[in-house]
Amino acid sequence: MFDDFTDERIDVGEVELRVRHAGQGPPVLLIHGHPRTGATWHRVAPRLVERGFAVVCPDMRGYGRSGKADLRPDHSQQSKRAVAADLRRLMDLLGHPRFATVGHDRGAYVALRLALDHPDAVDRLVVLDGVPISEALARCDATFAREWFHWFFFAQPDIPERVITADPDAWYAAKARPESMGAENHREFLQAVRDPATVRAMLEDYRAGLGVDREHEEADRRAGRSVRCPTLFLWSTRDDMERLYGDPLAVWRPWADDLRGHPIESGHHVAEENPDDLTEALHRFLT
């Protein structure tokens, strides 16, 4: 994976981030989701480099080989605001004060927070397979609670850690296949989910989501803040965006002044399952 990429750890203040980066040209930050690491982009990142972009693939704080912040009672150490601040600092240190941001799954929430909190830094935003946390919770019904029960299970104190770390492979690995992920990506994923500190940090991500992250988004709406840069929303045809939300673009329209989007034929992990179509969609939007 990531031939000719630099692979290093960079101190961004509260934590060190593991990051892979390569290329020359317009900078693009790729933010992974749960429970992946930056390796989820291993089929997309080299294609973007070949097309003339400078590509940055970090592990978010708490995830993968990046540092784990000290726990706080309100879980704000893993808030999307804290993660976004890490990534803004990372891009500055890599010499990219202004950049495009692409986020998938939990990374989509971080990408949105980056665009809202740092509009001077984010010149284009791409969100994949996710609507704002506050919008998902406002629309939560029995279907959502049944199929996305992990949002609420993960938010419970202590019990999820005990359940998951007792057999992390049973919890995480059943749906993660090396054939679809790629063997090295799969090995890195397994190493991450078998680390109790990483599991706790990933759970803290969800705990922050139901608390401070929701509060931050609701404060944005009350203040009339929206994403000012061009925004692209892409969703996987074999995920549940349309089933849960009908037209998912309608959910995003109040959040972005310049919005466009379309589906991509894929399951949830689009960067692994359909990197060709995803790369093409990103290239068209980012150039």
- Give me the helix-helix angle, 159-166 and 196-208, nearest 10°: 140
pLDDT of residue 175: 82
Is 34 a catalytic site residue? no
pLDDT of residue 45: 98
Q: What is the mean pLDDT of residues 111-115?
A: 98
Catalytic-role residue among 42, 96, 268, 269? 268
Catalytic-role residue among 59, 86, 105, 117? 105
pLDDT in tens, 49-97: 999 999 999 999 999 999 999 999 999 999 999 999 999 999 999 999 9
The model's pTM is: 0.97
CB atoms within 10 A of CB 250: 11
Confidence of residue 174 (pLDDT cuts 50, 70, 90): confident
Confidence of residue 181 (pLDDT cuts 50, 70, 90): very high
To which residue do tokens 């692209």 refer? Answer: 232
Is 105 a catalytic site residue? yes
Chain-wide mean pLDDT for the chain?
97
Q: What is the mean pLDDT of residues 243-259?
A: 96
Give me the domains of the chain, ranges plus CATH numbers: 6-286 (3.40.50.1820)
pLDDT of residue 148: 93
